[in-house]
Structure 1
Amino acid sequence: MLDNLLKKKSNSNIKKNYFYLLLIQGTNLVLPLITFPYLVRVLGSEKYGLVMISYSLMKFFIITVDFGFNISATREVALLKDNINKLSKFFWNVTIIKLVLLVITFLILLLLTVSVDKLQLDPLIYLLSFGLVLGQSIFPTWFFQGIEKMQVITIINVIAKVFFTITIFFIVLGPKDYYYVPILNGIGFIVSGLLGFLYSLKYIKIIFPSFQDIKNNIKKTFSLFVSNIAVSLYSSTNTLILGFFIGDSIAGVYASMEKLILAIQTMYTPIYQAIFPNLSTKNKMEVKDTIAKMKIPIALSGMVISLIIFFGAETFLRIIFDDDLISSYFKVFQIIGFMAFLSSLNMLYVTLYFPAISKYKVRMKILISGGFLNLILALSFVKAFSIYGVASSAILTEFFMLLFAFYFYKRTIDDRG
């Protein structure tokens, strides 16, 4: 009787967290998806491409400051949520590390803007874009996800970002206004981040960790940090590579299509994030059973989406962007459209399964291999095949990673320990 009640409560929390996480992810990706078609028309392909290149660089910094806490800290909070003192000490542990990394990444950005030729052409656009890093860093999604209380911070997140997104349509009116894009988006992220952080203080005390506690947390999470940096080698570098080797306009074309794929992936991310805190407290066999039940539905839905993109690529691009340059590259969208299938399964293993059973080093091996493979392929293909070569490198990387992930998954399935 008690077990059934606890199971129903657990399922109810998962559903609620999925809904709120879906809103947050949807806000972060769908709102830009609404504004980017407008920005393509208003800014022109060159300035739009420059904004996208700066955003791609910011992804590296966001991943660096996150340090893998989106996984490790969420899991730890889920385990500590009934002990206020330990939970509070861990909260400040993570917060201190993230603030230090935030300062370090900003100093690195300053160095890049004065030493890299590409960034020296327009350093202000990159400095203004750092607001995204600041806002994303201070928003404690990992904490609320772990304690399974997403409702209030979801409302905060959505309202702040919707408001500042709407202002883009009133302020950004021509190519000369491209600086306002990172300013307005950054303010939206910073306001929601500050409000979310202040609200989190309701659930914790001020108990600072020792230096040794911080050191241990860094050591424990380091493999996840390396893994996430590797992720950026195939999720963020392609736009940068095109910007450096081909030009801002083509980088903007690729980034536009990539945003559509990321919006599709939004459907899967909240599912995995909502399940993760509860799944991470289960034993190994229960985790395996859950993954086994999810595999086929995830694969089928991903394949259907990929096929829809393949057959409707040109039509979708014309309707969404109404831009002849972007529409002329519809075959690129057909190629990267298969990421909807491949990445949905990759995420099942890499984002949910291996972290849930604490196989962080296995996850690291998969992501590092994929990251360096994409970097090598993209740099090899870009000069000869331009945007088509970079798109092909992305798909080949996702396919390789899926094979690698499934191989390690089967090994853990066979290992009964």
Structure 2
Amino acid sequence: MFKNLRSKKNTGKVYQNYLYLLLIQGTNLVLPLITFPYLVRVLGSEKYGLVMIAYSLMKFFIITVDFGFNISATREVALLKNDKRKLSKFYWNVLIIKGLLLILTFLILLTLTISIDKLKLDPLIYLLSFGLVFGQSIFPTWFFQGIEKMQVITIINVIAKVFFTITIFFIVLSPQDYYYVPILNGIGFILAGILGFLYSLKYVKLILPSIEEIKNNVSKTFSLFISNLAVSLYTSSNTLILGFFIGDSVAGVYASMEKLIQAIQTMYTPIYQALFPNLSTKPVKEIRKTISKMKIPIALSGLLISGVIFLGSETILRIIFNDDLITSYYKVFQLIGLMAFFSSLNMLYVTLYFPAIKKYETRMKILVSGGFFNLILALSLVKSFSIYGVASSAILTELFVLLFAIYFYKKTVNEKV
């Protein structure tokens, strides 16, 4: 009887967390569909492309500062949440590491802006964009996910996104205003980060970890960091590659379409994020059973979305962006629309299954292989096929990662638990 009550309570908690995360991702889906078409029209493809190149570079820094704690720390917090002393020590352990990485990434950015010709042309846009990294780094999303207080993340994130959306329409009015995009975006995230950090202090005490404990945390999480960095090689590098080899305008076109696909992909994120803290504490057999039940519905939904994009690509681009240059590349949108299908299943394995069973090294093998596969393919195709070559490499990489993930999934199923 008590077991059933606990089970119902856990199910209710997961469902509640899912609804909060769905609201966040709904905001992430709807608001970009309002702001990014506006920015494309006001800034033009070239300036918008420059802003997106800077944003893509910041994503590498965000992943570096996060260091894989979005998975490892969430899991650890879920296990420690009933022991305030251990929880507090772990909390400050993570924040100290993230703080040091934040300083390191800013120094790297400064070095890049004075040593790379492309970045030297407009260093301020990259430095201003770093506000996004700072805001994301101080917001303890991993902590609130672990203690399953998703309403906090929801409220603060929605405030930040709405702030950015509203101010864009009042301040960014011409191509010369492109500097304001990273400034406003950064302010929104920094505000959210400060609020999130201050609120998290309600749940912890100031108990500092030892240097040895910090080293152990870095060592345990390093494979996740490498995995997440590898992901960025095929989710963020393509805009950078186009910007460096082809030009800001084409990079802007690709980034516009990629933003739409990424907005659609966010519909799966709340499912995985809501399930992860609870699922990671379950026996391996139960985790596999859950994954098995989810495979077909996830695949069918992804296939449906990809089909809609393929059939209506030209119309979708014209309605959303109303830009002749972007619409003329509708075949690229048809191509990368397949990402909705492949990545939905990829996330099921690499975001939920392997982290939940603590197969971090397996996850790293899959993602590092995928990252380098995309980098090599994109660099090989970009000069000859421009945006079409980069789009092809993105799709082939998603397929490569999916096949690799399924292979390792089947391998773990055959292992004795």
TM-score using structure 2 length? 0.99
Matches within 5 A, 1:248-397: 248-397=248-397
1:235 aligned onto 2:226: no
Aligned-partner SS, 2:126: helix
Deviation at 1:29, TM superposition (A): 5.0
Show the counterpart of 1:145.
145
1:214 equivalenced with 2:202 (yes/no): no
Matched, 1:120 2:120: yes
Aligned ranges 1:96-245 → 2 under 5 Å = 96-245=96-245
Q: Distance in 2 between matches of 1:254 and 1:194?
A: 33
The 10-residue stretch of structure 1 (20-29 or 300-309) with the greater mean CA deviation from structure 2: 20-29
In the alignment, structure 1 segments of 5+ residues that lack a partner are none
- Is the 2:29–2:264 contact (alpha carbons within 8 Å) kept by the matching residues of 1? no
Rounded to whole Å, the distance in 1 between the matches of 2:145 and 2:69 is 12
1:412 match: secondary structure:
helix
1:400 aligns with 2:390: no
Residue 154 of structure 1: how far off its partner (Å) = 1.4
Q: Which amino acid counterpart does residue 414 of structure 2 have in structure 1?
A: D
Question: How far apart are residue 152 of structure 1 and its match?
Answer: 2.6
Any idea what the Cα deviations from partners look like across 1:41-100, whole Å, max 9, x if unmatched?
111111010000000000000000000000000000000000000000000000000010
Amino acid in the other structure paired with 1:107: L
- The separation in 2 between residues aligned to 1:150 and 1:129, in whole angstroms, is 27
* Greater mean alpha carbon deviation, residues 154-163 or residues 133-142: 154-163
Cα deviation code 1:121-143 (max 9, x no counterpart): 00000000001101111111100
For 1:152 and 1:354, the matched residues in 2 are separated by 27
CA distance in 2, matches of 1:198, 1:237: 34
SS, match of residue 416 in structure 1: coil
Give the whole-Å Cα distance in 2 for the aligned partners of 1:160 and 1:412. Answer: 41
Determine whether 1:7 maps to 2:7: yes
Separation of aligned partners in 1, 2:404 and 2:344: 15
* Percent identical residues: 80
Kept after mapping to 2: 8 A contact 1:161/1:192: no
The answer (yes or no) to whether the contact 1:165–1:188 under 8 Å persists in 2 is no
Distance in 1 separating the partners of 2:150 and 2:20? 6
1:201 is matched by which residue type in structure 2? Answer: L
Amino acid at match of 1:47: K
What is the rounded CA distance, in whole Å, between the counterparts of 1:25 and 1:139 in structure 2? 17
2:281 alignment partner, SS class: coil
* Equivalence for 2:74: 74
The answer (yes or no) to whether the contact 1:29–1:259 under 8 Å persists in 2 is no
Deviations 1:155-203 (A, max 9, x none): 1221232023201100000011000000001100000110011000001
Asked if structure 1 preserves the Cα contact closer than 8 Å seen for 2:33 and 2:320, the reply is no
Per-residue CA deviations over 1:338-365 (Å, capped at 9, x if unaligned) read 0100000000000000000000000000
Structure 1: which amino acid aligns with 2:3? D
**Which whole-Å CA distance do the structure 2 matches of 1:53 and 1:164 have between them?**
19
Q: Check the 8 A contact 1:238/1:378 in 2, yes or no.
A: yes
In structure 1, the residue corresponding to 2:207 is in which secondary structure? coil
Distance 1:231 1:61 in 2: 13
CA contact (8 A) 1:227 1:363 kept: yes
Which residue matches 1:93?
A: 93
Secondary structure of residue in 2 paired with 1:76: helix
RMSD over aligned Cα, in angstroms?
0.8
Residues 230-289 of structure 1 show CA distances to partners (whole Å, capped at 9, x for unaligned) of: 011001000000000000000000000001111111110110010000000001100000
Runs of 4+ in 1 over 2 A off after TM superposition: 22-33
In the TM superposition, residue 28 of structure 1 has moved relative to its aligned partner by 4.1
**Cα distance in 1, alignment partners of residues 103 and 44 from structure 2:** 33
Deviation at 1:33, TM superposition (A): 3.0
How many Å separate the matches in 2 of 1:153 and 1:376? Answer: 37
